[in-house]
Structure 1
Amino acid sequence: MARILLAEDDDSMRRFLAKALENAGHEVIAYGRGDQAHDKLKHDIFDILLTDIVMPEMDGIELARHAAELDPTMKIMFITGFAAVALNPENAAPKDAKVLSKPFHLKDLVAEVERLMAA
């Protein structure tokens, strides 16, 4: 079981992803904005940061950089319809971050989370 911090600004997508991960046995704390998730990271420990890239206030790449500074062992996965943005070196996303491109099947998300935890 992983403890996952989920940052996704789309309410229905956030609930959908959280429910799927919880059904797979993971603990999920979810926020709709990157800055809210960042505040939680300052005071709590997570195994995985699962974040959308495009969000208001603080985007997922900035959130991931802060997460990597706070806890270099935390695994990071982007969920996005804009995978090329995450892979652009100018954005300086953490080098070990994984990218899962939307649309994806929930079983693929669960499988990727399990792969991250096994690594």
Structure 2
Amino acid sequence: MTDDSFLINPKILLAEDDNDMRRFLAKALQNAGYAVTSFDNGLAAYNRLREEPFELLLTDIVMPEMDGIELARRATELDPEIKVMFITGFAAVALNPDNHAPRQAKILSKPFHLRDLVNEVQRLLAA
């Protein structure tokens, strides 16, 4: 019996409104072997989540149309198994219990090194 799960690249949905940051993060994750689909706003990302499953939602918090916390809430309603990681310069916002962010979500504060991002993504997906 073989385990084919290693043959499939984990799918990451990236929501980041900063164009340069989004391209930078997507490239780093693709280079690390992940299949990345990226959007510049939470609403577009949510609409894609409704079409297909992803292993990880990697989202900025402050975005137009739908912020990352609302996106994460809706994503975990659609798929309770999805892992969530916030990338933000506003970690206190994500940590505020009043915003109802998914409790198991990981927070990576900006600025961060790309190696740290890839390591955290690997850890989260392995958990």
Aligned-pair identity (%): 68
Residue 97 of structure 1 aligns with which residue? 105
Is 1:5 the equivalent of 2:17?
no
**Structure 2 residue ranges without an equivalent (≥5):** 1-8
Alignment of 1:37-56 (within 5 A): 37-56=45-64
Larger Rg: 2
Match of 1:69 among 54, 72, 77: 77
Is 1:118 the equivalent of 2:106?
no
Name the count of aligned residue pairs.
Answer: 119
Partner-residue secondary structure (3-state), 1:29? strand
How big is each residue's C-alpha offset from its partner over 1:39-83, in whole Å with a ceiling of 9 and x where there is no partner? 000011100000000001100000000000000000000000000
TM-score normalised by structure 2 residue count: 0.93
Q: Distance in 2 between matches of 1:79 and 1:37?
A: 15
**Structure 1 residue ranges without an equivalent (≥5):** none
Residue 117 (structure 1) shift: 1.1
List structure 1 runs of 4+ shifted beyond 2 angstroms: none
